[in-house]
Chains A and B, each alone.
Chain A
Amino acid sequence: MRDEDVIVLEEPQLSAAERLYLPQILDGVKTTLRHTFSVKNRKQVVRQYPEDTRQGRGELRLANYRGVHRLNKDPDGRVACVACFMCSTACPAHCIHIEAGESPWPDREKYPVKFDIDELRCIYCGMCEEACPVDAIELTPNYELVGLTRAEMIFDKEKLLQVYEETKDVKPRKNPPVTDYGLTGGQSKDVAQPNVERKV
C-alpha cells in the first residue's frame, strides 16, 4: 500500500451542546415523534399480507423470484429429469434426494424413480436450477409455502410435477426442451436446435 492510499481522518470535534448530549436526545425524540404520528408514511410503506399480496400490486418479478421448486415436463408430458444427480450434488443444503432407474422410454437412459426435495432444508439458492443439464428443475415464483407437518414439506416427484402444472402459465419452461439425452447421443447441436427432426 502506498502512502497516498492512506487517508487519515480526524475525529470530529463535538460542540458543547453535543457534549451535553441532551439537545441531541431531544432532536432524536423529535424525529421519533414525527414518524409516530405520520399515518401517511405507514400506509404507504406497509402492505397488509395476506389480503394485499405483491402479485396483487403487480410488482413481483415473476421470472426472477426463487420460490418452491418444480419438476418440468417435456412436450410429451413425461418428467424431463434424467436423474443425473447434478442438482443434488450442487445443493449446498443437501435437500434433494433422487433414486434413479432405467427409464421406460426408448429415447431416454435414466429417469428419476423417486425425486424428493425437503423444502424445509432448502435455502432457495437456485444452484439446482443452474446445475440441471436439461432444465428440468426450476424454482417458481410461488412463495406461499406452508405445511402443518415436516413430512408434508418433503415434496415428492408427483407434487413437484403438480407444481409445474400450476405454474407453467405464470412462468413457462425456460429453455427449449431436450428429449433425447441418453441413448441417442444428445449431440450438442440438438440442444441448440431443438426443433430439428431427429432419427432415433
Chain B
Amino acid sequence: MPKIIIDGQEIECRPGIPVLQAALEAGMDIPHYCYHPGLKIVASCRLCLMEMKMPHPKTKEMAWAPKLFPSCQTPAKDGMEVRFDSDAVRANVRHVMEYYLLNHPLDCPVCDKAGECYLQDYTEDHGSAASRMVDEKQKNPKKDIGPQTLLYSDRCVLCSRCVRFCDEISGTSELRVINRGSRGEIDVFPGRPLDNALQGNVVELCPVGALLDKEFLFRQRVWTLKTTKSISPVDSRGQSIYIDYNEEGIHRIRPRFNEKVNEWWISDEARFGWKHVHRDDRLNQPRVRGSDGLVPQRWEELPEFLRKRLADAAKQVSDSVAVVLSPMMSCEEAWLLAKAVRDVAPQAVLFHGFVPVVGEDRTFPKGFVVKAEKCPNRRGIETICEHLGGNTANWGDFLGMASSGKIKAAYVVGGYPNEWLTSEAVAAIGQVEFLVVQDLFPTALTEHAAVEIPSVSWTEREGMFMNCDGLLQEFERALNPLEGTKADGQFFFELAGNVGLFRAKKVREEMAAALPVFADVFIPQELPEHAH
C-alpha cells in the first residue's frame, strides 16, 4: 500500500490510483470535472491541479516544483508529497472557475441541474460573484441529440465525460467534440442520434446542466426529492439504483455505485423501468368471487378466509394445492408465502413462477451486461424452494398439472410490469377450482380467479433479491403502498398467522438461521463524499 502525503497529512491509498482519487477517498473536496474513475483520464478540465515535491534539477533536493500537475493524471507513488492547500493551487482554481463562467448562462433558476450541479457548488466555494467579461456571451444552441436526451450547449464545460462514456462503456461513439476553442461544443453525427441501451448515464455523468433527460425535464427541482437505495427489478443482474421521489411519486431513477454488478452505470431499462408503478389501472382492492362476480373484500378478513379455503382443498387430495412463487417477489415474501401455505396444506407443491426472457444477454465493451432474463429473483426463489423441499416443480410443470385438472387450489403470484400470460397458460390455469391471483394489474386470470389480491411494486416494499450470480442484495421501500393496497410482505406475514408489522430484517434473520446463504447480504461500497 503506497503512502503519500497530501497537505502534510499522510494517507494510505490503493496502489495504482491517481492522486486525485486517493485524495477523494481520504475525504478531501478537490474540484474536478473531467476525471471519472470509470473512464479514461484526459486531464482536460484543469481544476484538480496540485503542487508536487520533486528533486531540484541542480541541487537534487526535494522541493515544490514551480509548475502545477494534474492530480487526476499523476499516479500515487509511495513517499510522494503533494499539496492542494496552497496559494498557487487556489489561484488556479479561481482562475479556471472564472474561465468556465465566461460563457455560462446565469439561468440556474430554470436549469434542472441546479442543486446537484458542480459548477454551482464550485462557484460557491471558489468562484467570484461578479464576472469581468465585457463582451457578449457565446450562446450555443440547445440541441435535441437523441430520443431521451437534450443538450444545452451553452451550459457545457467540455469535460468530455459523455464522449468518453460513449466511446468506452457503450462502445457506440455517438458523441464528439466539434469545433475548437471557445466555439467547441458537443454534438452527434448527422443522422446518428444518441440512442443506445446505456445512454441515460451521460445525464448523471455531466457535472453541469448540459445533458438533460427529457423525461425528467422541468418535472421537479432536485431539492424537493427524497432518495432511497434500491435494486432495479428489470433484469436478473439486480442493478443498484437510487429512487428519487416525493409525495407525488417517483420522478427518476439514478445509478448507484456497486462494484460487483453495475459499477457506476445502469441500463436505460432500469432507468425508465418505473413507469408501471404509476399506471392508472393498478389493482387497488382485494376482491373475492361471490354469486355476482368479484366483490371487494376487507383486508382484515382475507388471511383467515384463505387459510380455511386452502386447508379445505388440501383435505381432498394431499398434493392438490399449488403455490406459484413469482421471480418478481423478494426472498422474504416468497419465504413467508411458502411457509404460510405449507402451514395449512403441508403437501402443497411449490412452483417456480414464469421467467420472462427477452432476446439475448448483451455485453458492452468494458463488461457491462444487460441480461435477457427480465426478473430479479429467479435464483432466490429456486434457493428457497430447494431448501423447503417437498414437492417443487417449475412453471411448465405447473401448467401441465393445472390443465390435467390435478390442482384443486392454486395461489398464483404475478407482479410483472408487462403482460406475461400466454393464452395457453390462461386456459390451463383456468382449470383450477380455487384460484388466488395476486398481481399488479388486471390480467386474463381475473375472470377465473376466486380471489384477486393486489400486489404492490418493488418501490413500495422492502426485501432482498438474489441476482443471476447468486449475489444477495437488499432494497428499501420508497413509496407508501398505493391507497387500498397492502405491501405483499405484510400480507404474507399476516397470512402466516403473525400479528403486527412486517419487517424484512426480522424475517431475514429467521431465514438466515434456517439457510446460511441468506445471512450473506452484499452491501456495495459508498462512493467518497466529494467524488462524482
Asked whether the complex places CB atoms of A and B closer than 8 A, the reply is yes
Residue numbers of A with Cβ under 8 A of B are 82-86, 89, 100-102, 109-110, 133-134, 181-188, 199
17 A–B pairs (Cβ distance < 8 Å), ordered by A: A83-B110, A85-B220, A85-B221, A86-B109, A89-B223, A109-B107, A109-B110, A181-B107, A182-B110, A183-B142, A185-B137, A185-B154, A186-B105, A186-B106, A188-B106, A188-B131, A199-B136
CB neighbours of B109 from chain A (8 A)? 82, 84, 86, 133-134, 181
Cα A110 to Cα B150 in complex, Å, equals 15
Does the CB pair A89–B224 fall under 8 Å? yes
CB proximity of A40 to chain B, nearest CB, Å: 56
Which residues between 114 and 138 of chain B lie within 8 Å of chain A, taking CB atoms? 130-131, 136-137
* B 201-230 to A, binary, CB cutoff 8 A, 1 in contact else 0: 000000000000000011111011000000
Q: Please name all residues of chain A whose beta carbon is closer than 8 Å to the beta carbon of B110 when the two chains form the complex.
A: 82-84, 109-110, 181-182
Binding site for A on B (CB under 8 A): 105-107, 109-110, 130-131, 136-137, 139, 142, 154, 217-221, 223-224
Report if A110-B218 is in contact (Cβ < 8 Å); known contacts: A83-B110, A85-B224, A89-B224: yes
Could you tell me if B106 and A185 are in contact, using CB atoms closer than 8 angstroms?
A: yes
> Closest approach, in angstroms, between the C-beta of A188 and any C-beta of chain B?
6
Look across to chain A and name the residue whose beta carbon is closest to the beta carbon of B105: A185
CA distance A183 to B106 in the complex (A): 10
Note all chain B residues with C-beta closer than 8 A to A199: 136
Does the CB pair A102–B218 fall under 8 Å? yes
**A100 CA to B224 CA, complexed, in Å:** 14
B130 cross-chain contacts in A, Cβ below 8 A: 188
Separation of A84 and B224 alpha carbons in the complex (Å): 12
CB distance from B208 to the nearest CB of A (A): 15
Whole-angstrom distance between the Cβ of A37 and the nearest chain B Cβ? 59
Smallest Cβ-Cβ distance to B154: which chain A residue: A185
Q: Which residue of B lies closest to A198 (CB)?
A: B136
Q: Which residue of B lies closest to A134 (CB)?
A: B109
Chain A proximity of B177: nearest CB distance (Å): 22
Question: Other CB < 8 Å A-B pairs besides A84-B110, A181-B109, 7 of them?
Answer: A83-B218, A84-B221, A85-B221, A181-B107, A185-B107, A186-B105, A186-B106
CA distance A133 to B136 in the complex (A): 22
In the complex, the answer to whether A184 meets B218 with C-beta atoms within 8 Å is: no
Question: In the assembly, what is the distance between CA of A185 and CA of B221, in Å?
Answer: 20
Q: In whole angstroms, what is the CA distance A185 to B310 when docked?
A: 68
The residue among A89, A109, A184 with the most chain B CB atoms within 10 A of its own CB is A109
B364 CB, min distance to chain A CBs, angstroms: 33
How far does the Cβ of B114 sit from chain A's closest Cβ, in whole Å? 8
Contact present for A182 and B218 (CB under 8 Å): no
Min CB–CB distance B425 → chain A (angstroms): 42
Is there an interface contact between A184 and B131, defined as CB atoms closer than 8 Å?
Answer: no
Note all chain A residues with C-beta closer than 8 A to B106. 185-188
Contact among B139, B219, B220 with A184 in the assembled complex (CB-CB below 8 Å):
B139
Kindly list the 7 A-B residue pairs having the minimum CB-CB distance in the complex, ordered from nearest.
A84-B109, A100-B218, A185-B105, A85-B221, A109-B110, A110-B110, A133-B109
C-alpha gap A102/B214 in the complex (Å): 11
Instruction: Give the shortest distance, in Å, between A82 (CB) and chain B (any CB).
Output: 5
Interchain CB contact under 8 A, B224 and A182? no
Chain B residue nearest in CB terms to A85 = B221
Please tell me if the beta carbons of B139 and A101 are within 8 angstroms of each other in the complex.
no
- List, in ascending order, chain B residues with CB within 8 A of A185's CB: 105-107, 137, 139, 154
How many angstroms between the C-alpha atoms of A101 and B220 in the bound complex? 10
Chain B residue nearest to A86 in the complex (CB): B109
- Complex Cα gap A102–B219 (Å): 10
Q: Which residues of A contact B139 (CB under 8 A)?
A: 184-185
- Complex: A187 Cα to B154 Cα, angstroms: 13
Residue of A nearest to B138 (CB): A185
Q: For the complex, what is the distance from the CA of A82 to the CA of B108, rounded to whole Å?
A: 11
In Å, the complex CA distance between A185 and B102 comes to 11
Complex Cα distance, B155 from A182, in Å, reads 12
**Which residues of chain A are near B217, meaning CB under 8 Å?**
102
Bound complex: CA A83 to CA B130 (Å):
25
Q: How far is the CA of A48 from the CA of B522 in the complex (A)?
A: 73
Chain A residues with Cβ under 8 A from B137's Cβ? 185, 187
Rounded to whole Å, the gap between the CB of B221 and the closest CB of chain A is 4
Task: Verify A101–B107 contact, CB threshold 8 A.
Answer: no
B223 CB → nearest A CB, Å: 7
Give Cα A199 to B135, complex, Å: 13
A89 CB contacts on chain B under 8 angstroms: 221, 223-224
| B107, B219, B220: the one within 8 Å of A182 (CB) | B107
Residue in B closest to A108 when the chains form the complex, CB atoms: B110
> How far is B114's CA from A182's CA once the two chains are assembled, in angstroms?
14
Q: How far is the CB of B98 from chain A (nearest CB, A)?
A: 14
Alpha-carbon distance between A109 and B219 when the two chains are bound, in angstroms:
13
A184 to B140, CA, bound (A): 10
A182 partner residues in chain B, CB cutoff 8 A: 107, 110
B107, B142, B218, B219: the one contacting A186 at CB < 8 Å is: B107
Which residue on A lies nearest to B218, using beta carbons? Answer: A100
Taking the nearest CB of chain B, how far is it from the CB of A183, in angstroms? 7
Q: Give the nearest-CB partner of B106 in chain A.
A: A186
A134 to B136, CA, bound (A): 21
Residues of B within 8 A of A188 (CB): 106, 130-131
Q: What distance in Å separates the Cβ of B140 from its nearest Cβ neighbour in chain A? A: 10
What residue in chain A is nearest B141 (Cβ atoms)?
A: A183
User: Which B residues are in CB contact (< 8 Å) with A109?
Assistant: 107, 110
Closest to A184 in B: B139
- A16–B460 Cα distance when bound, in Å, is 76
**Nearest CB of B to A90, in Å:** 11
Which residues of the other chain, B, contact A86 by a CB distance below 8 angstroms?
A: 109
Question: Least Cβ distance of B104 to chain A in Å?
Answer: 9
Contacts of A186 in B (CB 8 A): 105-107
Task: Please give me the residue from chain B that is nearest to A182 by CB atom.
Answer: B110
Complex-state Cα separation, A34 to B220, whole angstroms: 63
Q: How far is the CA of A100 from the CA of B221 in the complex (A)?
A: 10
Q: Which residues of B contact A85 (CB under 8 A)?
A: 220-221, 224
Q: Which residues of B contact A84 (CB under 8 A)?
A: 109-110, 221
Nearest B-chain residue to A188, judged by Cβ: B106
Which residues of A lie under 8 Å from residue B136 when comparing CB positions?
Answer: 199
Task: Give the distance to chain B from A93, nearest Cβ to Cβ, in Å.
Answer: 15
| Least distance between A96 CB and chain B CB atoms (Å) | 12
* Bound Cα distance A83, B218 (Å): 9
Measured in the bound complex, the distance between the Cα atoms of B139 and A100 in whole Å is 24
A185 to B219, CA, bound (A): 21
Q: Across the interface, which residues of A come within 8 angstroms of B105, CB to CB?
A: 185-187
- A113 CB to nearest B CB, Å: 9
Q: What's the Cα separation between A84 and B220 when bound, in Å?
A: 9
